[in-house]
Structure 1
Amino acid sequence: MPSLSALKQTAFAPGLQAGEADALVAASGLRVRDERVRGRGAGLNMSGRYELEAREVFDDGWNSLEDLAPFKTEVQIEKPRTVITRNQSPDLSFDRSINPYRGCEHGCIYCFARPTHAYMGLSAGVDFEARLFAKPDAPRLLERELSRPGYKVQPIAIGTNTDPYQPVERRWRIMRQLLEVLEAAGHPVGIVTKSALVTRDIDILSRMASKGLARVALSVTTLDRKLSRTMEPRAAAPDKRLEAIRALTEAGIPVSVMVAPVIPGLNDHEIERILDSAKAAGADAAGYILLRLPIEVSPLFRDWLLRHYPDRYRHVMSLIRSMRGGKDYDAEFGKRMRGTGPYAWQISRRFDMTAKRLGLNLRKAPLRIDQFVPPHGEGVQLSLL
């Protein structure tokens, strides 16, 4: 970790927005000790934005910080009333999704879902990675919701917020149970993950895919193992994700690759290489999303960037702001996924031209919705016939 003097030298360099230098130096004093967050993405654990009190860990002069144990992953049970989440966003290709977990152990520093932990009174920083919530009732709730009279079938997206195949899924197996419910009902599903654990469920996914009911998207952010381990510490290594694409494709499951997020000045030079590698592994479609820095994600990402790539800090943030109207983020529909301006246009053109050259996105068949049979869920009156 850089010394405070080094942080000040970087923070007060030209090119930073007003007040940003002070914020960065202040954040350096809020960082969690390295030994406590080894293997985590975030270096901060500020209080949730809805809390009445803000708490700060500091050394009282007796080396008390040395007594604090490293953060360990804790999983609590969440009991929601429903499991299907609806949205009306014009930027999204789906209108419903399922999240079997809240929080994500992958620890991706750029994750736009981090701010949701504030609703639980927790931090978007280390808490998001270490204090997770599992929904073991999700399969039962899904069966009940699919059984409701008047339910209109459309593909369900899983993995759009937090990863359904994050490490804790090995023990909880909630995602696999959800797939069992969807397969039995003939319900289409689209999955987004950056975990090779998805290959565990090839048996179910291949049967669904043979009926046009399943598609998987693997997120490949970088092919640089060092950058990946730093930026998304507990996610599968890039080569493992490519192997997963190959295994899924060989099982007859259509696979897309998501270059997400594209971070200008950090991984945007890899767009062509990632698409080439994914196509060689069997992917037939591709997409990308520009880095998003909503609410608490911005200070977390900036702190991470300053710690690991201080020499690139000003350049990366300058490029990001050039595509966000001078701000760290613009949440306006139609702009938030792609950005605006010359650099954003250049990224879009490079992606489109490479995808076209490789023959990606040419024959992406829609998932079928004509095979749905409502399950006999809990509380549903059976037919007398």
Structure 2
Amino acid sequence: MDETAQEKKLSAHNASPTQASDHPADPVLSGGFRFDRMELAGAFGDLGTLLPIVIAMILINNLSPSSVFFAFGLLYLLSGFVYRLPIPVQPLKAVGAIAIAYPAVVTESVIGASGILFGAFLLVVSLTGLMDWMAKLFSQAVVRGIQLTLGLVFLKKGIELIIHKDLFMSGAQNRLAEYPVNLIIGITVFALVLLLLDNRRFPAALAALVVGIGSGLALGGFSTLTLAFGPTDVRLISPSMSDYWTALVMLIIPQIPLTIGNACVGTASTCTSLFAGNPLLAKAKAGMFALTMGIVNLPAGFFGAVPMCHGTGGLAAHYRFGARTGGAPIMIGAFFILIALVLGELGFSLLALIPRSVLGVLLVFAGLELCPLLRNLKTNEEYFVALLIAGIALAVPNMGWAFAIGIAVDFFIRKMNVRI
């Protein structure tokens, strides 16, 4: 999607004091990597999206933590080295939601089959050029509607996590269960992040995670810690034809519109908004995003990993907390591989210690980074399409319907020259 003057203005507005527009030799423009505290903080900025779904799928769908985190680590490393921008890696939201809701049907082998099918689909549409053709269906109004939708969803989910009565997702007992401890921690961490949001000495996301893990240990998290090192059991998955059919109907078909609109086209558009003028944008295209997702998802499915994607919300989260280069995905990728191969059950237990409300705070700030992108729109017709998409998406369970309707309405308005 072409850059606009407004997108350049937005990028300048959002840029940190050390960002490339002010320093020509900065790694942001030169294609280098940064590995400082802000980049590290940004690397962990998207845990609010990733951990709730991943931890729930490991616990409920009986997945191997090592298989799951190793796959995430690989795709993060690939993204960091290929794009050299803070491109995120997230679990497929539709797949995760359905798998968690129907564990008796969506078994480990069905999840593996979904990763294989999803990876194969992405490789085909990327290598044949179909993804670039499909990307043309998404006008700026449609893309901004998708970004607004994800921003509002993140805000809603983040607040739900903050006000949830249970502190731990792992089921560990909270020592002060009779008090609203999760809410108190959430309010405290929200205030802390707000104070440290642009602090380079004490990065906000790292401070939130330190407070989260510390409070989790203090309030009963020790009871679920497993002091076992090394990788957990990794199983080779051989899905049956029935598994593939279940995965296609229940998981992949509902996911595809969301992946095209958000993980491919939306991520490319958000890159353009946040890194306007950066020569690295030449690679940050919808077709390339489909390719990197396909390369890792296809083989990872044979080991029962959670199917993964990129995403506009994850990019906003990494950026909001300080990530500007490929250093952030490389660091978080190495961290996940360390958990998968060295820390094993102990690493998974430590991540499960982070209170829901801390993850909720990270989600809230990611949502607040996405929603203002709507201001790039110029006409009432564009605002109409974007708001229509967001309204439908918040009312129906499958956001793909909202994107499809938005595309149709946008095409009708432009074709019939409708004025609003």
Instruction: Settle same-fold status: TM greater than 0.5.
Output: no
Higher helix fraction (1 or 2): 2
Which structure's CA Rg is the greater one? 1
Normalising by the residue count of structure 2, what TM-score does the alignment of the two structures yield? 0.27
Normalising by the residue count of structure 1, what TM-score does the alignment of the two structures yield? 0.29
Taking CA–CA contacts closer than 8 Å with sequence separation of 6 or more, which of the two structures ends up with the larger relative contact order?
Answer: 2
Higher strand fraction (1 or 2): 1
